[in-house]
Amino acid sequence: MKKIVTILGARPQFVKAAVLSNVINKYDTIKEVIVHTGQHYDNNMSAVFFEEMQIPKPQYNLNINGLGHGAMTGQMLEKIEEVLLLEKPDAMVVYGDTNSTLAGALAAQKLGIKIVHIEAGLRSYNMAMPEEVNRILTDRISNLLLCPTQTAIDNLKNEGFDKHPIKMVNSGDIMKDAVSFYGKLSKEKATVLQSEKLETNNFVLATIHRQENTDDIEVLKRIFEGLTEINKYQKVVMPLHPRTKSILSKHNLTYPLTFIEPVGYFDMLALLSNCSLVVTDSGGLQKEAFFNKKACLIAREETEWIELVKHGFAELVGSDSVKMVASYRQLLQKQHDFTMPLYGDKVAETIHEEIVKMINS
């Protein structure tokens, strides 16, 4: 039986990979070995997390975290290479744009192992973002680029990828499958609405964690000023990221928002499906808002998911507090056609089919 090694380093990657793992297990044509680099150390990622989320437990846990970009990527490269030499897979699968993604791809490339990049072709065109560097380099050394949208395909073609011996496929976005699968489970398992006494369509969900927002205190202040103004119209609920919490505390900044502890995926889906609107600087949450039929304000100057902005489901507001409030009022009143097929269908099935084709060719 053919074998693949899947490299994962952050909780969202595990959620996406679980959907593909289910399809792999259904067809039983590939053996999958999962490696957790440990990049995003998360107390919630216990044995209970894997059991409740129906995620296969990693066969390897490298426990590499809490380091700078260079040291982290270097240690991952070394340890992943050891796994690959031991497992001798036919291909490696990587997701997205983390340091784990790049380290996995580099290790495989050096050993002549084929690389599958899921969520390929995304671009923010902001090279100051570590994620942008990771995704561009991973795309360039991969063999199969599975793109979530036609925009991603176009990005690659504009960069000359069709001149390289690389296969590009518009597979759709695997997060769509994940939201559909876990959305049903979240109705049974989520408790956050009851514990926080939240009413459906009567609160705004906000998440802020990116370094470009948290590390510039003036930028962070402007974002929170905008959220504070929105809070006058509707309660703003924010699961507070540890980095953001630390910086607010360091500068003695307090705001009249409803701060809650970071939540698990079931609770996050419950918040998404029951809020009135989303404000975020997260890439993944922009799409999850769409999948949950919610408009989104993006607290960034650019987005990889330009189709959301193009079709009016989201607006880029950066750290402009005035624009944030104006866009909130506008989007809340606007009617949106969330049935628009932006991100494909039966995505995990398509991805599985393409991987099988590649390793058997």
Q: What is the pLDDT of residues 159-211, one digit of tens each?
A: 999 999 999 999 999 999 999 999 988 988 999 999 999 999 999 999 999 88
Whole-number Å distance between alpha carbons of 29 and 320: 51
CATH classification code of 183-333: 3.40.50.2000
Q: What secondary structure letter does DSSP report for 58?
A: P
Q: What is the pLDDT of residues 291-345, one digit of tens each?
A: 999 999 999 999 989 999 999 999 999 999 999 999 999 999 999 999 999 999 9
pLDDT for residue 40 = 73
Q: Helical H runs in the chain?
A: 11-27, 47-52, 69-87, 99-110, 130-141, 150-158, 174-189, 192-195, 211-214, 217-230, 242-250, 265-274, 283-291, 306-310, 321-333, 347-360
The one-letter code for the residue type at 242 is P
pLDDT for residue 175 = 94
pLDDT for residue 221 = 97
Whole-number Å distance between alpha carbons of 108 and 5: 10
Instruction: Report the side by side order of strands in the sheet with 2-8.
Output: 60-61, 30-36, 2-8, 91-95, 114-118, 144-147, 167-170
Whole-number Å distance between alpha carbons of 224 and 217: 11
Give the global pTM: 0.86
Whole-number Å distance between alpha carbons of 229 and 6: 44
Instruction: Report CA torsion sign: 235, 236, 237, 240.
Output: negative
8: which 2 tokens? 């994962």
pLDDT for residue 20 = 96
User: Which residues are the active-site residues?
Assistant: 209
Per-residue pLDDT tens, the chain, 361 aa: give them: 999 999 999 888 999 999 999 999 999 999 999 999 988 765 555 566 777 788 888 999 999 988 888 999 999 999 999 999 999 999 999 999 999 999 999 999 999 999 999 999 999 998 988 999 999 999 999 999 999 999 999 999 999 999 999 999 999 999 999 999 999 889 889 999 999 999 999 999 999 998 889 999 999 999 999 999 999 999 999 999 888 999 999 999 999 999 999 898 899 999 999 999 999 999 889 999 999 999 999 999 999 899 999 999 999 999 999 999 999 999 999 999 999 999 999 999 999 999 999 999 8
- 2-173+344-360 folds as Rossmann fold (3.40.50)
Domains 2-173+344-360 and 183-333 share a fold: yes
Ordered by start, the domain boundaries in the chain are: 2-173+344-360, 183-333
pLDDT for residue 129 = 86
Neighbouring C-beta atoms of residue 143, cutoff 10 Å: 19
Whole-number Å distance between alpha carbons of 275 and 290: 12
Work out the burial of residue 187: count CB atoms within 10 Å of its CB; fewer than 13 is exposed, 13-18 middle, 19 or more buried.
exposed
The answer to whether the CB of 2 falls within 8 A of the CB of 41 is: no
